[in-house]
Structure 1
Amino acid sequence: MHKDRFGHTVTGANTEALESYECALEAFNIYRGDPVGLIDQALEAAPGFVMAHVLKAYMFGLATEPEGTREAARLLAVASELSCNERESSHVAALRPLIAGNWTAAATALDLHNLHYPHDLLALQAGHLMDFYRANSRNLRDRIARVLPLWSREMPGYSIVLGLYSFGLEETGAYAHAEDTGREALDRQPLDCWAHHAVAHVMEMQGRVQDGIGWMSEREPYWSGEDNLFKVHNWWHKALYHMDLGQVERAFDIYDRHIAPDLGGVALNLVDASALLWRLHLSGLAVGDRWQAVADGWDELADGKLYPYNDWHAVMAYLGANRGDRVDAIISAFDQASSQSETDTWAQAIGMPLVRGFSAFWHEDYATSAKTLHGARFIVNAFGGSNAQRDVIDWTLAEAGLRSGDSGIARGIANERLALKPHSGLNRDFLSRALAMGDGAV
């Protein structure tokens, strides 16, 4: 029997297939290259290689795209019919709830899996991404903390584990520890996009925008290559730094040169595009026809059923592109969610108020938007993305308060934001505008 580089026995592999699998896993670890092409080579060499099917199923199932989920279901069906050892069967069992839209059940299954197989890097990374997609900041940190003492610096993949831990630390507010851990990860593997972006998040959350621009610029060769699957998101981070400095033209330039050309029908890239254009719109800038391409990209991916966090971002683009019919279709799908899966619950309890709040804002019903988003923002940590990504909700709420003439909301949100990022030019502007309104409230 063959064993992987962590010492796990793998069923159905041969030497050639295992080599391709290891290369695919490394590419997946750092979000670079062609992990799907590599895993296809492994399956061609050994069609009964269970973990090759499992790795590919994770890659497609975690993409939050309808076609990808269907492919993941096909791969799971094949893997389920193959002879598996105990570790492989545990992976197959974790994939089932993921594909059914029950992210917490899948994440919990991998949590338990790693208690028995602490050196299973694929399980750690897949589980970490599940925690990210369900916005469970505590487990982003603690999933890794539970096993990190069992890793040594000499082990393959140690730098990747540090990168995962860095992001979990950042999302739970341990910024200094997160930055130190992320920098150590990058000292060991400079191409680790996840570790790089964890440090970028630290600087964003601390309002260290000049440091952030320097960080992105100095390391640009490591994260901006054509084969880098995470480059759009890192460009998005750089654009946010420029926006906080009031350098909106720089943000537009980043969008036009580095985000718009790489939308490619990829949900993660379209999320970034929608979110950046929405922030530019909030800043009072004319986005123009940029919305159209983003809206078109969402047509095959936003179905109101698979992942409501994506659907909410699609609504931003549909509003901008004046496609009310697509907004109505997503609202209708949310209304009809059967509550048979966790994502159905997210759609009704979280997706719906966000869509309604953002729609009200777009249609200049700022009072309704403020009222809706003020309540919604306290429940959104149950699904989707990072603290930095979800900040667009509070940003929209602040603008809704200002534009509706509600000085109480406007001042309160500005004070709240300044308490966390006192040097933010954007937040100081919010407070200045709120104070200029006087004490009247609607």
Structure 2
Amino acid sequence: MHQDSLGNPLTLDDAASLLAVNDFVEGFIASEARAANVLAAAQDESPIVQAYCAALHLFAESRDAVPNALPYLRKAQAGAQRATARERRFIAALDAWAQGDLALAVALHQEQAQEFPRDLASLKLGQYHAFNLGDNPAMLRMSLTALPAAADVPYVHGMAAFGHEQCHRLREARACALHAIAMCRKEPWAHHALAHVMLTEGQLEEGLGFLQDVSDTWTGLNSFMYTHNWWHAALFLIDLGREDEALAVYDTHVWGVEKAYSQDQIGAVSLLARLELAGLQVGAQRWAELADWLAVRQQDHVLPFLDLQYLYGLGRAGRTEADVLLANIEHFAPRAPASQRDTWVQVCVPAARGLLAHARGDLRTAIDQLGLALPSLSRIGGSHAQRDLFEQIHLDALARGGNPRELGAAQSLLQQRLNAQPMSRRLARQADAAYATLGLPASGGAT
């Protein structure tokens, strides 16, 4: 029997497929584009080859993802009886994913981590689902389960680092990320985890310098990893008051790699919105060009985290498709898969109404509707740094809404943020504006 490069037994009909399988496994855990090379082996009807092909299609995160994945998934299921127990569980997890039962998928990937801890492709996929459910403890638990048996692989330390960080265990996250990078300087997921830690701890100059230093290793990556790490660099630039440089990062590194891909699109929406909230005029043309790609997302509803950002981008571009998408979200929410239905109804719907209202200048509705969603926002998935966009939008509405009590609430939130990130020029400017309106002394923050 064959084995993949991590030592996991494989059921292969064609030995020539081994290279493509390893490209998937190694490329997936390293965030490299070569993971897609397994599609070239699709003529091999080995269950695991078909399963990996199905996974790639599901990662498209579009309404076409499941229909495109199903032919491969059905072939994998048809051959599952002759596959290994590890391969069968991976196929079952894919089936749960395709059916929208992410909670079951997470449970199956957790079982896989316990029984086959060197199946790091399964671990990475399980973390992806837990992340999208806002289940940060599951992300950490899976990585810690596999870590003892896979400690020789740098990428598992990067996965553990991000799990720690999302659970607010910053010291542990930093240690795991640095260990991963010491093992392999080109470990972009560990770079990403460390960037989260440094942003949270207010190490703005240091975080920017670190990302710039390792950016020479960001070659051969999938578009998400490449654009997202540059997105993180742009966040440091914005907080440092270097918005023009952040906009240049948008133009050269964040938007334009894979314009049709969901993650590239939401990264672009988020960065343009943050630049505007920081006071920079990004230009209507950038929103208009982005909206042309968002307009096809009106009926996707793959993840609430994605729909919300598509909606805001369409709203900022002044597109009527935003109204269609909002109506579609409201219609879909009570019909969503059972494991996610409450999140769609209780969190996504009010957040969507609030975001579109803000995009159109209706601050009263933005305050009220986002206020309903924010306490449970973690349920929509995304990282702390990504979800912070929605909190910034709500804060902006509070600060500009004209109600003294709400302005006082904005002051409180801004000062707490400035206390955590005292070197943020963006936060100092925003806080000082609130203090001036309230007739109070300036914050004394960075200038």
Shift of 1:104: 1.8
Residue of structure 1 in register with 2:158 after alignment: 163
Query: Unpaired runs of 5+ in structure 2?
Result: 441-447
* Equivalent-residue separation in structure 2 for 1:99 and 1:302 (angstroms): 20
Name the residue aligned to 1:61: 58
SS at match of 1:377: helix
3-state DSSP of counterpart to 2:265: helix
Q: Residue 302 of structure 1: CA displacement?
A: 4.5
- Residue 207 of structure 1 corresponds to 202
Contact 1:10-1:49 within 8 A present in 2 as well: no
Match of 2:316 in 1: 320
* 1:307 CA drift (Å): 1.8
Q: Are the structure 2 counterparts of residues 286 and 102 from structure 1 closer, same or farther at C-alpha, using a change threshold of 3 Å?
A: same
Q: Give, in whole Å, the separation in 2 of the partners of 1:34 and 1:51.
A: 17
Instruction: Decide whether the 8 Å contact of 2:54 with 2:70 is kept in 1.
Output: yes
CA distance in 2, matches of 1:253, 1:96: 41
Contact 1:6 1:119 in 2 (8 A): yes
Q: Secondary structure at the match of 1:90?
A: helix
1:271 to 266, 275, 283: 266
Deviation of 1:224 after TM superposition, in Å, equals: 5.2
Aligned to 2:431: 431
* Contact 2:347/2:372 (8 A) holds in 1: no
After TM superposition, list the pairs within 5 Å mapping 1:333-352 onto structure 2.
333-337=328-332, 338-352=335-349
Provide the rounded CA distance (Å) in 2 between the counterparts of 1:22 and 1:84: 17
Which stretch has the larger CA shift, 303-312 or 72-81? Answer: 303-312
The aligned residue for residue 444 of structure 2 is: none
Alpha-carbon separation, structure 2, partners of 1:193 and 1:385:
18
Deviation digits for residues 346-369 of structure 1 (CA, Å, limit 9, x no counterpart): 332222112111122122222321
Q: Indicate conservation of the 8 Å contact 2:400/2:407, yes or no.
A: no
Aligned partners of 2:101 and 2:337 also within 8 Å = no
The alpha-carbon deviation at position 57 of structure 1 amounts to: 2.0
Aligned counterparts of 2:204 and 2:379: Cα–Cα separation in 1: 28
Counterpart in the other structure of 1:18 = 18
Residue 275 of structure 1 deviates from its aligned partner by: 0.3
Taking structure 2 as the reference length, the TM-score comes to 0.91
Q: Which moved more, 1:270-279 or 1:334-343?
A: 334-343
Letter in 2 for 1:126: L
SS for the counterpart of 2:259 is coil
**CA deviation after TM superposition for structure 1 residue 419, in Å:** 4.2
Residues in 2 aligned to 1:75 and 1:8: alpha-carbon distance in whole angstroms = 21
Q: Say if 2:315 and 2:356, in contact at 8 Å, map to a contact too.
A: yes
| Separation (CA, whole Å) in 1 of partners of 2:382 and 2:57 | 18
For 2:63 and 2:142, locate their aligned partners in 1 and report how far apart those are by CA, in whole Å: 27
* 1:322-381: CA deviation from partner (whole Å, max 9, x where unpaired): 11x312212222222214443444332222112111122122222321222223111111
The 3-state SS of whatever aligns with 2:400 is: helix
Name the aligned partner's letter for residue 135 of structure 1: G
- Check the 8 A contact 1:164/1:195 in 2, yes or no: yes
The AA in structure 2 aligned to 1:48 is E
Shift of 1:435: 2.2
Q: Which residue of 2 aligns with 1:178?
A: 173
Once the two structures are overlaid, the 10-residue window that deviates more, 159-168 or 75-84, is 75-84
Identity %: 25
| 1:138-195 deviations in Å (ceiling 9; x for gaps) | 2221211123223343xxxx11100100111111122222122112212222222211
Of 331-340 and 222-231, more deviation after overlay is shown by: 222-231
State the secondary structure of the residue aligned to 1:12: coil
Alignment-derived partner of residue 149 in structure 2: 150
Q: Unmatched 5+ residue regions in structure 1?
A: none
Count of aligned pairs between the two proteins: 432
Distance change >3 Å, CA 419–CA 342, structure 1 → 2: farther
Q: Tell me the TM-score normalized by structure 1.
A: 0.92
Q: List per-residue Cα deviations over 1:73-123 (Å, max 9, x = no partner).
A: 222111111132222111111112211222222112211222111121111
C-alpha distance 120-322 of structure 1, shift in aligned 2 (>3 A): same
Query: 2:48 aligns to what?
Result: 51
CA distance in 1, matches of 2:368, 2:415: 18
Cα distance in structure 1, aligned partners of 2:191 and 2:245: 21
* Cα 1:300/1:367, change in 2 over 3 Å: closer
- Relative distance call for 1:8 and 1:224 in structure 2 (3 A) is closer
Q: Which of 382, 386, 389 is the aligned partner of 1:385?
A: 382
2:11·2:47 contact (CA, 8 Å) conserved in 1? Answer: yes
- Which residue does the alignment assign to 1:401? 398
